[in-house]
Structure 1
Amino acid sequence: MNIGEIARRSGVSRSTVSYALSGKRTVSEATRRRIQEVIEELDYRPNAAARALKEGRTRTIGLVIPPAGGRLTYMQLEFVASVLEAAARVDLDVLLSPSGGDHDRSFERIVSGRRVDGVIVMEIRLDDPRVTTLQRARMPFVTIGHTAQAHEVCWVDVDYATLIGRCVDHLADLGHRDIALINRSAELLAAGYGPGHRARDGFTSAVARRGLTGVEYCCADDAPSGEACVERITATHPEVTAIATINEAALPGVQRALERAGREIPARFSIAGVAARHWAEEFHPQLTAADVPALEMGSIAVELLIERIAEPNAAPRHRLLAPPISLRNSTGPAPAYKPII
């Protein structure tokens, strides 16, 4: 039972319930009694985390997002939306702060100025200086994604290695012997972008385990780059009959390039990947994919952060999610290889 349900049954707002519980603002005696009656009826007991938050200085958490100059992917926007929604359910405000490039001063102000009670950080690198900064400042924080030192911090992440491995297994079961991985950009990989490295590891391992031929291509996060990437694949490795990918933003371009090359999906070419459900369902035909549970991940991140604020010395908790592959229409039996002239 949460504050929202108490508010609904009491006929008041969530903030009124929060004020009645915390005593931070005056609530009329009649309203307070009505709220208390509902609480007793529901046997509601605020947990330790909620009690700790009532004593917080700001009732605000920070969400560190990629630089404002770059366009957020649909998945990144879902992370932002889910954090905002989960925070609102527990009467918390969210301060958005870009980091990277010329925006690091915003992140530094959040940490040094103690403008928030805790921080959620997105787009984590294997070796991420933001994590080190937060650890040194003793600021409660949670990451969406995890560093190479995963045991040291609280995080929620998708198991990209396992999921890409499952995509390869699915394609291999359909008879595909030559498979390409479309990863994220070379710049992100060079910077230590965790999902890209884990997808590479999962792909390499699965290809070796199944005795397949695999090639990897890096691709920027946009449709034109997806087109160019597929053009390179069909030119340099025409024997490839299937793609596994984690680059959802490139999918529209991948689709256009395959159509232009005469690689009908799934009759002459198959594609599977890890993507936000929106991108999977917008692909034509719909993409066989592990749908990243971005909304669930943002909610989990807020939950973990509240716990961290309440008990900063508790052992870090981790959530690694591996959603099932949703079989849609973009994969089919491997065709006999015939060079396209």
Structure 2
Amino acid sequence: MNIEEIARRAGVSRSTVSYTLSGKRQVSPATRKRIQDVIDELGYRPNASARALAEGRTRTVGLVIPPAGKRLTHMQLDFVAGVVEAAARVDLDVLLSPSGGDHDRSFERMVFESRVDGVILMEIRLEDARIDRLREARMPFVGIGRPSDDEQMCWVDVDYAGLISHCVRHLADLGHRRIALLNRSPELLASGYGPAHRARSGFLQAAEEHRLQGIELPCGDDARSGQDCIARLLQAHPEVTGLVTVNEAAMPGVQRAVAEAGLRIPHDFSITGVVATHWAEDFRPALTAADVPADDLAARAMALLNERINDPATPARHVLLSPPVTLRRSTAAAPSRAAGDGVPGA
């Protein structure tokens, strides 16, 4: 079944059927209904390639994710689900494309073979070659995250530096004088991964401002790495009483390491950070944290991308979200072993 047969049965021209399907020109309500009745009767579905040629659009957007061989964190999966849901609300499909290493061929095919109308980039580095490739292809795109030079790019992001600073201040207000940052993996830091570098910046600045001793711990994105990192920390620095984290995937291991050291959360050791909501609520005790609004970020990214697809000349827009730090039960006043414990040189 094709457009020509629909036109014959509806008693209209082929172009009228095409205009009805694409919405490019006005068709009278009576004619549109006659055509739609035939379509419904025959169960016609337009061929995607033919529709793309007719409309000049694929009605598909690309979502560039980390390499498929690596396990995605729950927060990353929340972003993926949020983008898919937001795209469905505006009748768009989503093509997932991993990037990084050998996977860059998938990214190149998606962009330069016109498989999508626009792209959402995840996991953006401070210096990110993919951004240059998208500009070269004149492909509309939006970032979940942002590079260091972000003025000409549309993006949505979480204020990691500001939120980590709030977490440090919260611990300082509770009397903690020696604290640590559980950051993302050494590999991500070396690659220039934006959230990890901004978390580090916010942590170090806030520690200096509040005259705290701050220790940074790069940590792999898994429970075993979290357990090993915290075990080493508590052995080398038993004076540390508070932890700030942006590494949600390591949290189960953090919990085990603290328990194995004979410490109780929050009586002996306080933990806070920036994580997805379900990680905070599933932690025991529930984690005091800034909950990353993944659904909201994804929906805003999709709205910005749709805007740029419809009008590529739209000025670049930036959305920086700073959710509140929700007080739960994983933080408390510094334990007596830290009472009156000043920072050397402070």
TM-score by length of 2: 0.83
Aligned twin of 2:113: 113
How far 1:237 sits from its partner (Å)? 1.0
Q: Deviations over 1:39-79 (max 9, x none)?
A: xxxxxxxxxxxxxxx95420110000110101110000000
Alpha-carbon contact 1:274-1:291 (below 8 Å) kept: yes
Matches within 5 A, 1:82-161: 82-161=82-161
- Identify if the C-alpha distance between structure 1 residues 176 and 102 changes in structure 2 by more than 3 Å, giving closer, same or farther: same
Which residue number in structure 2 is paired with residue 22 of structure 1?
Answer: 23
Task: Give the deviation of 1:29 after TM superposition.
Answer: 4.3
Asked if 2 retains the 8 angstrom alpha-carbon contact of 1:87 and 1:302, the reply is: yes
Q: Alignment partner of 2:151: what SS?
A: helix
The separation in 1 between residues aligned to 2:256 and 2:110, in whole angstroms, is: 43
Question: In structure 1, what is the equivalent of residue 262 of structure 2?
Answer: 262
Distance 1:268 1:32, change over 3 A: farther
Give the letter aligned to residue 161 of structure 2: A
Residue type of the alignment partner of 1:70: K
Q: Equivalences for 1:216-227 in 2 at 5 Å?
A: 216-227=216-227
Deviations 1:12-63 (A, max 9, x none): xxxxxxx778269x99949859x9xxxxxxxxxxxxxxxxxx9542011000
Amino acid of the structure 1 residue aligned with 2:23:
S
What residue identity is the alignment partner of 1:234?
Answer: L
- In the other structure, the counterpart of 2:41 is none
Following the alignment from structure 1 to structure 2, what is the Cα–Cα distance between the partners of residues 30 and 231? Answer: 73
Relative to structure 1, is the Cα distance of residues 284 and 58 closer, same or farther in structure 2, using a 3 angstrom cutoff? Answer: same
| Corresponding residue number in structure 2 for 1:234 | 234
Assess if the C-alpha contact under 8 Å between 2:22 and 2:55 holds in 1: no
Count how many residue pairs are aligned between Structure 1 and Structure 2.
301
Asked whether the 8 Å contact 1:230–1:254 carries over to 2, the reply is yes
Partner Cα distance (1:132, 1:109) in 2: 15
Deviation, structure 1 residue 187: 0.6
Q: Is the 8 A contact 2:79 2:298 kept in 1?
A: yes
- 2:227, 2:192 → 1: CA distance? 25
Distance (Å, rounded) in 2 between the aligned partners of 1:257 and 1:77:
26
After TM superposition, give the deviation of residue 178 of structure 1 in Å: 0.2
Say whether the 8 Å CA contact 1:163–1:322 is kept in structure 2: yes
Contact 2:156 2:297 in 1 (8 A): yes
Residue type matched to 2:58 in 1? Answer: T
Identical residues among aligned pairs (%): 61
- Give a deviation string over 1:299-319, Cα, whole Å, max 9, x none: 011000011112212210010
Cα 1:217–1:279 change in 2 (3 A) is same
Q: Cα deviation per residue 1:203-261 (whole Å; 9 max; x = unaligned)?
A: 00100110111000000000000000101110111110000000000000000100110
1:165 aligns with 2:165: yes
Give the Å deviation of 1:276.
Answer: 0.2
Q: Quick check: 1:20–1:32 contact (8 Å CA) kept in 2? A: no
85-94 vs 307-316, which deviates more?
A: 307-316
Unaligned stretches of 5+ residues in structure 2:
1-19, 37-53, 339-346
Paired letter, 1:313: A
Work out the CA distance in 2 between the residues paired with 1:311 and 1:260. 57
Is the 8 Å Cα contact of residues 145 and 155 (structure 2) preserved in structure 1?
yes
RMSD: 2.2
- Which one-letter code corresponds to 1:283 in the other structure? F
Query: What is the identity, as a one-letter code, of the residue corresponding to 1:74?
Result: H
Q: What SS does the corresponding residue of 1:151 show, helix, strand or coil?
A: coil
1:272-297 CA-partner distances (Å, limit 9, x unpaired): 00000011011000000000000111
Q: Which deviations, in whole Å up to 9, do the C-alpha atoms of 1:144-200 show, x marking residues without a partner? A: 000011111000000000000000000000000000000000110000000000000
**Alignment check: 8 A CA contact 2:274 2:291 kept:** yes
- Residue 221 of structure 2 is aligned to residue 210 of structure 1: no
Matches within 5 A, 1:21-100: 22=23, 29=30, 32=33, 55-100=55-100
Instruction: Give secondary structure in 1 for the equivalent of 2:95.
Output: strand
Instruction: Measure, in 1, the Cα distance between the counterparts of 2:226 and 2:30.
Output: 62
Output the CA distance in 2 between the equivalents of 1:181 and 1:329: 19
8 Å contact from structure 1 (residues 156, 297) kept in 2: yes
Contact 2:293 2:323 in 1 (8 A): yes
1:220 match: secondary structure: coil
Runs of at least 5 residues in structure 1 that lack an aligned partner in the other structure: 1-18, 36-53
Q: Which residue of 1 aligns with 2:344?
A: none
Alpha carbons of structure 1 residues 112 and 30: separation in structure 2 relative to 1, 3 Å: closer
In structure 2, distance between residues paired with 1:195 and 1:219: 14
Is the Cα contact below 8 Å between 1:20 and 1:27 reproduced in 2? Answer: no
Q: 1:31 to 1:277 in 2, by over 3 A?
A: farther
* Residues 322 and 56 of structure 1, relative CA distance in 2, 3 Å threshold: farther
CA offset digits 1:112-133 (Å, max 9, x no partner): 1011000001000000011111
